[in-house]
């Protein structure tokens, strides 16, 4: 391939704060189970998993101006080919309490992966929908209106630590959704010849893509409409996400049955748990979420005859500040009260420090022949 090469700088959340991810489903989704690719063709063996999603709650804040239109994705089979850019970065610093502001700061080290996706959507009739719902381990979620299936047919990326994700070409990525875009289930399937490192890298980027949903209200809206959705972050239920959409424009190209819309997105992400218990060795303790702030910029252009945005870019950076706090118990060995250093009763403990985490993502949607890549 002639596309630019990018170097991976891997980032791992430290164990103390990783307690927030105890219920995350990202760890090895594609590595568990076995089955066929996400399109069900069975043409090549793959490790696969189907994961129930948490359909978001949708609230209309402003229906917009007349005329109003009920926006929904096309019910007919459609193909889509696109190039998706996923950039990610993470940093963590331990600082004196009060020495950091709440405004997010993008980490200096990031990595970028370009994924060529080929696939589309297929309508699901009543019998097939019932079969999908019945075969989904009794997750209790509704039968889908449509099914999206994509295959990673190209990867542009180089890992400076030696992990080569090219073996994950052929990775399947799909969903069961309704006409508004609400996702009921995610499907991930990695080729059997994918290395563990390649599988993990590509899986993480695809789940980052899943974290930028396009969901419409089930009522007519017009230009200027504003609505929100809220749900756990796909792949990491330790984080909650609220997306605010603004309908910038609706265009009906000549000779087409479905409109093309332009959306502005604002995203807020914050930990689902406000207090995270851990064993400090001397007494029961916890990390408390002191603040969580997200900044977002970007717009998406969505052709409602295709399942993924046609063009556009969304960039977001989240800062979470944790402060260590004790439960109020007296130290078992020294008799130091909560808030005192167990090694020197009467002296303030190290609760005067903050753990400051910044996480950044940029998701870009491009035509498959985007220049320069």
More confident of the two residues 17 and 366: 366
Residue 130 has pLDDT above 70, yes or no: no
The pLDDT score that the predictor gives to residue 158 is: 60
More confident of the two residues 270 and 46: 270
Residue 52 has pLDDT above 50, yes or no: yes
Q: Which tokens belong to 369? A: 């022949």
DSSP 73-108: --SS-EEEEEEEEEEEEEEEEEEETTSS-SS----S
The pLDDT score that the predictor gives to residue 336 is: 41
Q: Which tokens belong to 237? A: 């239920």
DSSP secondary structure code for residue 161 in this structure: T
Distance CA 266, CA 242 (A): 8
Residue 337 has pLDDT above 50, yes or no: no
What's the mean pLDDT in 164-181?
A: 93
Q: Which of 48-57, 204-213, 325-334, 355-364 has the lowest mean pLDDT?
A: 325-334
Positions of E strands within the chain: 7-8, 46-52, 57-62, 78-96, 110-123, 146-156, 158-159, 172-177, 183-191, 226-233, 236-251, 260-271, 275-279, 284-303, 311-326, 353-366
> Of 8-17, 19-28, 104-113, 261-270, where does the model show the most confidence?
261-270
What is the rounded end-to-end Cα distance, in angstroms, of the chain? Answer: 9
The pLDDT score that the predictor gives to residue 46 is: 55
Q: Which tokens belong to 345? A: 């009763």
Average of per-residue pLDDT values in the chain: 79
CA angle 120, 123, 125 (to 5 degrees): 160
Residue range 184-235, pLDDT digits in tens? 989 999 999 999 999 999 999 999 999 999 999 999 999 999 999 999 998 7
Pair type for strands 110-123 and 260-271: unpaired
Q: Which of 106-115, 242-251, 259-268 has the lowest mean pLDDT?
A: 106-115
Q: In this structure, are residues 306 and 76 in contact, taking their beta carbons and an 8 Å threshold?
A: no
The pLDDT score that the predictor gives to residue 40 is: 39
The pLDDT score that the predictor gives to residue 159 is: 57
What's the mean pLDDT in 65-85?
A: 91
DSSP secondary structure code for residue 340 in this structure: B
- Collapsing DSSP to helix, strand or coil, 249 comes out as strand
Q: Which tokens belong to 328? A: 């109020």
Residue 4 has pLDDT above 90, yes or no: no
Name the band, by pLDDT with cuts 50, 70 and 90, for residue 369.
confident
The pLDDT score that the predictor gives to residue 154 is: 96
What's the mean pLDDT in 58-70?
A: 96
Q: In this structure, are residues 189 and 172 in contact, taking their beta carbons and an 8 Å threshold?
A: yes
Count CA atoms within 13 Å of residue 294 on its CB side: 22
**In terms of DSSP H, where are the helices of 135-248?**
196-210
Name the band, by pLDDT with cuts 50, 70 and 90, for residue 64.
very high
The pLDDT score that the predictor gives to residue 34 is: 38
- Collapsing DSSP to helix, strand or coil, 205 comes out as helix
Does pTM surpass 0.75? yes
The pLDDT score that the predictor gives to residue 333 is: 46
The pLDDT score that the predictor gives to residue 8 is: 32
């Amino acid at each position: 391939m002639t596309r630019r090469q990018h170097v991976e700088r891997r980032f791992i959340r430290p164990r103390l704060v990783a307690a927030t991810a105890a219920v995350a489903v990202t760890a090895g989704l594609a590595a568990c189970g076995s089955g066929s690719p996400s399109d069900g063709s069975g043409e090549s063996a793959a490790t696969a998993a189907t994961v129930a999603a948490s359909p978001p709650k949708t609230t209309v804040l402003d229906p917009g101006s007349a005329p109003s239109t009920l926006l929904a994705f096309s019910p007919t089979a459609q193909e889509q080919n696109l190039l998706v850019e996923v950039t990610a970065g993470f940093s963590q610093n331990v600082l004196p309490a009060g020495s950091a502001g709440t405004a997010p700061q993008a980490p200096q080290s990031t990595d970028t992966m370009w994924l060529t996706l080929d696939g589309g959507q297929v309508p699901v009739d009543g019998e097939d929908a019932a079969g999908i719902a019945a075969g989904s381990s009794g997750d209790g979620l509704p039968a889908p209106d449509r099914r999206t299936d994509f295959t990673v047919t190209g990867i542009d990326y180089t890992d400076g630590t030696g992990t080569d994700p090219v073996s994950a070409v052929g990775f399947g990525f799909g969903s069961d959704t309704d006409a508004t875009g609400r996702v009921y289930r995610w499907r991930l399937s990695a080729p059997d010849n994918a290395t563990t490192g390649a599988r993990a890298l590509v899986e993480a980027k695809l789940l980052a893509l899943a974290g930028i949903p396009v969901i419409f209200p089930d009522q007519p809206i017009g230009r200027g409409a504003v609505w929100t959705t809220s749900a756990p972050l796909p792949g990491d239920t330790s984080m909650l996400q609220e997306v605010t959409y603004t309908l910038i424009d609706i265009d009906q190209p000549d000779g087409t049955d479905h409109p093309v819309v332009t959306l502005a997105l604002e995203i807020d992400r914050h930990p689902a748990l406000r207090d995270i218990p851990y064993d400090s060795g001397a007494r029961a303790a916890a990390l408390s979420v002191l603040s969580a702030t997200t900044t977002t910029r970007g717009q998406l252009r969505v052709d409602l005859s295709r399942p993924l945005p046609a063009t556009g870019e969304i960039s977001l950076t989240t800062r979470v500040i944790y402060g260590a706090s004790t439960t109020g118990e007296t130290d078992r060995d020294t008799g130091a009260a909560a808030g005192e250093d167990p090694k020197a009763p009467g002296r303030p403990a190290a609760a005067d420090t903050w753990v400051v985490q910044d996480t950044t993502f940029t998701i870009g949607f491009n035509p498959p022949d985007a220049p320069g890549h």
